[in-house]
Amino acid sequence: TAEFKAEILERYPPKLAKKRAKQIIINKIENDDDVPEILANTRTIPGIITMRGCAYAGCKGVVLGPTRDILQITHGPIGCGFYSWLTRRNQTKPTTESDVNYMTYAMSTDLQEEEIIFGGEKKLRAAIDEAVALFHPRAIGIFATCPVGLIGDDVHAVARAMEEKYPDINIFGFSCEGYKGVSQSAGHHVANNKVFTDVVGLNDTFSKPGKFKFNILGEYNIGGDAFEIERIVADCGLSLHSTFSGNSTYDEFSSAHTVDLNVVMCHRSINYLAEMMEKKYGIPWFKVNFVGAEATSKSLRKIAQFYEDADLLKKTEEVIERELVEVEKVRLDVKSRCEGKTAVLYVGGSRAHHYQELLREIGITILSAGYEFAHRDDYEGRKVMPSIIVDADSRNIEELKVEADAVRYKPRLSEEKKASMEADGFAFSDYNGLMTEMPESSLVIDDCNHYELEELLDRYHPDLVCAGIKEKYVVQKRGIPMKQLHSYDYMGPFAGYKGAINFYKEIDRLLNCSAFKFTKAPWDESPELSATYAFN
């Protein structure tokens, strides 16, 4: 691996090589407190074919996108709205025929050259008037795109003015211009802040039946994952109040402060909200993972243990036992054909970690993995957070000062109780990151680019690549099976127990299908199509 790293860096200009050297790490884990440091959440060098997306995608597409009854208007050119129009495959299920669902619409101000020159606020106000007349929504979110920031349109001023005009509608704007940060990650933070200040805490009365009330943060119902998680937690006897934001509603968000526990699935995109809700309302949080059968069982047990209720614990064990019968049958069968195969994973900010569990369950070894845009804590664990350097790009995103709510703050656990649970090994506000769980000497690559990916494929010949749409065909044309871990290649769910079964079967199908062996890349058959990377 050291030799491979040196080879990669050798081709780069010196300044770039120096930077990438800190982002390509050979994993070494003596103990959990001693993982190597990685450089993350910094700018991609222009000219590099990155796998990343933009802040608007992280805010509108990712965090808010899966919510069905907040009417969302993209203020910008039509491409931004079109791109974030369900391409992420976030599903939703209105509870009754008459429940609204705006997700099937792509609403945008469709900015033209004229507005770029003379300003687009008038058009945005007109779009809101039109949306109100047509849909009468409870809440409207406005999302800024790059040109809107560049010409100086103020989405917040428009939101305030339109809220005066329509006092019954909660209207709020997001400063999520694509360039706002170095990746989608900036957009997550912008989204968390606004949802926290303008939505959560507004409604004290909306409630759902059940005793053990909790929210799941950072689960977006891609390919129906949230439906499977909802099924399992309901069977255990838990009361899931709100998911941020898969299959969610405005009422669930605005009353989310009434629960006793937050669990966090995707740490990268939503840990801010978990932290802020703990400070303001006294709701503790811990990390869970419903990707992988073992991880799902572990997470269910931890939630049940939190409530310390004998019936809940018993029921949870019954669900786990029941579900594992089928899971184990399929897992062992699939493992007999996949054991010993190798994989690499490059995905946004949490799946490159979570999906390692599923692959290990069927005997696959991870050679290399990395995130597009996660931060050092997602690699090395939250313990490094105090030492993360705040640079100009991260300072660009507001860090809210949060205080305990005068009326609604209610610590769900006394300090003594929390301390005694922690002494017994129950971890709160935790996340150990990806590196501690990756094999010794495996390669951890932050913001991996297409040049590095192709070099890696040539050198290591992994049996499977997991990444996104931009990587898919580069990989498949080389005759290597490729599984998209963003869109799931239009399958799913992959979370929970049924999801694990779906995933095992899919990986079995991909790895043991002989079609890939016959694939010849176009550039192998026609050398004139081949190209080399040129630097300098």
* Site residues, ligand CFM (CB under 6 A): 58, 62, 88, 184, 220, 222, 266, 268-269, 347-351, 486
Residue that has been written with the tokens 């009754």 in this structure: 96
Q: At its nearest, how many Å lie between ligand HCA and the CB of residue 219?
A: 14
Is 267 part of the annotated catalytic residue set?
no
- For residue 268, state whether it binds ligand HCA (rule: CB under 6 A): no
Number of neighbouring beta carbons within 10 Å of residue 366: 24
Nearest CA among 244, 262, 265, 232 for reference residue 353: 265
Q: Known catalytic residue: 80?
A: no
Position 197 contacts ligand HCA (CB under 6 A): no
Name the residue whose CB lies closest to ligand HCA: 468
461 is catalytic: no
In the set 88, 267, 354, 375, the catalytic residue is: 88
Q: Under rule CB under 6 A, which residues in 325-364 are in contact with ligand HCA?
A: 348
Amino acid at residue number 13:
P
Nearest residue (CB) to ligand CFM, 163 versus 393: 393
State the Cα–Cα distance between residues 75 and 108, nearest whole angstrom. Answer: 6
Binding partner selected for residue 220 from ligand HCA, ligand CFM, none, CB under the kind-specific 5 to 8 Å limit: ligand CFM
Of 40, 54, 55, 159, the active-site residue reads 54
Q: Which does 123 bind (CB under 5 to 8 A by kind): ligand HCA, ligand CFM, none?
A: none
Phi and psi at 482, nearest 5°, equal -130, 130
Structure tokens at 293: 């059968």
Q: Which of residues 20-59 bind ligand HCA (CB under 6 A)?
A: 53, 57
Q: Could you tell which of ligand HCA, ligand CFM, none binds residue 266, using a CB distance below 5 to 8 A set by kind?
A: ligand CFM
CB 463 within 8 A of CB 338: no
From 40, 52, 55, 57, active-site residue: 57
CB count within 10 Å of CB 86 equals 15
Distance CA 429, CA 258 (A): 19
Residues 6+ apart with CB under 8 A from 103: 65, 66, 67, 68, 86, 90, 92
Neighbours of 119 (CB within 10 A): 15
CB of 58 to ligand HCA, least distance (A): 7
Q: Is 144 a catalytic residue?
A: no
**Phi first, then psi: what are they for 322, rounded to 5°?**
-60, -50
Partner touching 470 among ligand CFM, ligand HCA, none, CB below 5 to 8 Å by kind = ligand HCA
Contact positions with ligand HCA (CB under 6 A) in 454-473: 468-470
Which residue type occupies 50? T
Q: Are 289 and 243 in contact (CB under 8 A)?
A: no
- Footprint of ligand HCA on this chain (CB under 6 A)? 53, 57, 61, 87-88, 184, 348, 468-470, 484, 486-487
Instruction: Give catalytic residues, as residue numbers.
Output: 54, 57, 88, 188
